[in-house]
Homo-oligomer: A and B are copies of this chain.
Amino acid sequence: MQRYFANTKKDNLLFLNKEDIYHIKTVMRMKQDDKIEVVFEEKLHICKLDSNYNAIIEQILDSNIQKKQYILCIPVLQEQKMSFILQKATELGVDLIIPILTTRSMVKVTGKETQKLERWKRICKEASEQSKRLTIPKITAIKKITDLDISGLKIVCSVKEKNNTLKKILHNNKKYDRIVMVVGPEGGLTELEEQSLIKLGFIPVSLGKNILRVETVPIYLLSILNYEME
């Protein structure tokens, strides 16, 4: 069954946005009484369509999943790589994405922040529908490294680090509820940036012998977190 996210509810009706209604009518060619899944306030609703393409609630399924919170901090990259990371990170259960400005990011953002943010949010919403999530990952405005003063188990991917493997860190820190991951740009974070993060409590971590592209790293990290939580 096709899944959508709703923003508003009135009595037993859930209201979808224009783009979703367009998708239902034109792409899916659904009609009155056809069934869809609608997520509202993190609950899954089995609904049927009325004649105006509103969703009539027939059944509410509670999720009740208590999972650790995954926060991913990534440099602002070119849009193709950015879309890729947002899509895959959404599939793999990321909760919050923080785009960061780093010295070696090559992408200009000045004056384009709002437009980019809207685009990124749309990608995450669509990926959430396709991967049948009950939540859409949140994305913050673009931040600086020094803004990353967040609590939780905090790691920063480092090419200099040789001993601290992800395995060691995850096995020595089993009791966290939230993990914050910082991925650097092509060329890595500068020494200064890495030191700022270490001061904020981030642990440098080696990702092993393979040389991974920037956009592969978030998928690598989230795959392993999912695996460890199995």
Contact B91–A230 (Cβ < 8 Å):
no
| A192 interface residue (CB < 8 Å to B) | no
- Complex CA gap A93/B220 in Å reads 13
- Residue with the highest number of chain B CB atoms closer than 10 Å, among A208, A226, A227: A227
The proximity string for A residues 122-146 relative to B, scoring 1 for CB distances below 8 Å and 0 otherwise, is 0000000011100000000000000
Interface size on A, residues (CB 8 A): 26
Do A216 and B166 contact each other (CB < 8 Å), given the known contacts A208-B226, A210-B131? Answer: no
CB-CB < 8 A to A230: which residues of B?
165-167, 208
Do A211 and B167 contact each other (CB < 8 Å), given the known contacts A216-B219, A220-B223, A223-B219? Answer: no
Contact A166–B227 (Cβ < 8 Å):
yes
Q: Which of B130, B167, B219 contacts A220 (CB 8 A)?
A: B219
Q: Which of B65, B91, B165, B223 contacts A223 (CB 8 A)?
A: B223
CB-CB < 8 A to A88: which residues of B?
216, 219
| A213 interface residue (CB < 8 Å to B) | yes
What 10 A-B pairs come out closest when comparing CB atoms?
Answer: A223-B223, A220-B223, A131-B211, A165-B230, A224-B227, A167-B230, A132-B211, A219-B219, A91-B212, A208-B230
